[in-house]
């Protein structure tokens, strides 16, 4: 009889430990985005596209910036800089819909916008009459413009050889 009690006690303890050790099993964001808890602040200035990424700051019931034009294939990173939960949901626009679910204060959510068009994003964790709205225009990726004279621009850090020798002084 004692061995049955011990087995029962061991099983109950194992279940209790397994239940408490959760891996943060919250729902995954819809649409292939990614979400995280508090993170180190990013060095990107909100609204500035750099190396295929742009940051949108969520603070005081606003998206900053609230209008943005970016090239296709840009990773948009929303950072919750507020002290309450916010959510990022695409309500209009091309491609697959996405919804971050709740983003905790200090947390982030990211989504790559790869289709051209106008996207409307709202904060679904805020009351409808106060919910901020964000408009993102995704344009075709820009190729480098040729320099005057039809020559393509040189890569950064390289000098451009003159296309014709300079005239002799005289």
Domain presence at residue 146: no
In a domain, 29, yes or no: no
Token pair in block for residue 65: 């910036």
How many domains, the chain?
1
Residue scoring higher pLDDT (161 or 46): 46
Cβ-Cβ contacts under 8 Å for 80 (sequence gap 6 or more): 58, 86, 103, 104, 105, 106, 107, 108
Confidence grade of residue 169 (pLDDT, cut at 50, 70, 90): low
Mean pLDDT of 101-116: 96
Tokens representing 109 are 């959510």
> What residue has token string 């990614």?
34
Q: Which domain holds residue 121?
A: 38-139
| Cα(94)–Cα(113) distance, integer angstroms | 9
- Prior bond to 38 cis, omega within 30? no
Tokens representing 28?
């995954």
Flag whether 53 is in a domain.
yes
Question: Is residue 15 in a domain?
Answer: no
Q: Are residues 84 and 107 in contact, defined by beta-carbon separation less than 8 angstroms?
A: no
Is 84 inside any structural domain?
A: yes
CATH number of the domain at 134, please. Answer: 2.60.40.420
Residue 142 pLDDT grade (very low, low, confident, very high; cuts 50, 70, 90)? low
DSSP string, 119-139: EEEE-TTS-TTT--EEEEEEE
Q: Is residue 1 part of a domain?
A: no
Q: What's residue 141's pLDDT?
A: 76
Total length of the chain: 170
Q: Does pTM surpass 0.75? A: no
25 Cβ contact partners less than 8 Å away, ≥ 6 residues apart = none
Residue 22 has pLDDT above 80, yes or no: no
* Banded pLDDT at 168 (limits 50, 70, 90): low
Q: How confident is the model at residue 50 (pLDDT cuts 50, 70, 90)?
A: very high
Strand partners, 137: 69, 118
Residues 65-91: tens digit of each pLDDT? 999 999 999 999 999 999 999 999 999
56 Rama sector, left if φ>0, alpha if ψ -120 to 50, beta otherwise? beta
14 inside domain: no
Q: Which residue has the higher pLDDT, 23 or 106?
A: 106
Residue 8 lies in a domain: no
Over range 142-162, report the average pLDDT: 48
Q: Smallest Cα–Cα separation from 81: which of 121, 54, 109?
A: 109
């Amino acid at each position: 009889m004692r061995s049955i009690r011990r087995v029962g006690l061991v099983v109950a303890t194992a279940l209790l430990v397994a239940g408490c050790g959760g891996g943060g099993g919250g729902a995954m964001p819809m649409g292939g985005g990614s979400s995280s808890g508090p993170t180190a602040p990013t060095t990107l200035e909100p609204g500035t596209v750099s190396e295929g990424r742009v940051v949108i700051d969520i603070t005081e019931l606003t998206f900053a910036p609230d209008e943005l034009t970016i090239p296709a294939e840009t990773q948009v990173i929303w950072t919750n800089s507020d002290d309450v939960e916010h959510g990022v949901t695409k309500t209009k626009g091309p491609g697959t819909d996405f919804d971050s679910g709740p983003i905790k204060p200090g947390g982030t959510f990211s989504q790559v916008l790869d289709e051209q068009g106008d996207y409307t994003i709202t904060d679904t964790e805020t009351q409808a009459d106060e919910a901020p709205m964000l408009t993102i225009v995704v344009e075709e990726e820009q190729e480098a413009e040729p320099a005057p004279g039809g020559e393509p621009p040189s890569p950064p850090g390289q000098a451009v050889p003159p296309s014709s020798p300079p005239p002799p002084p005289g």
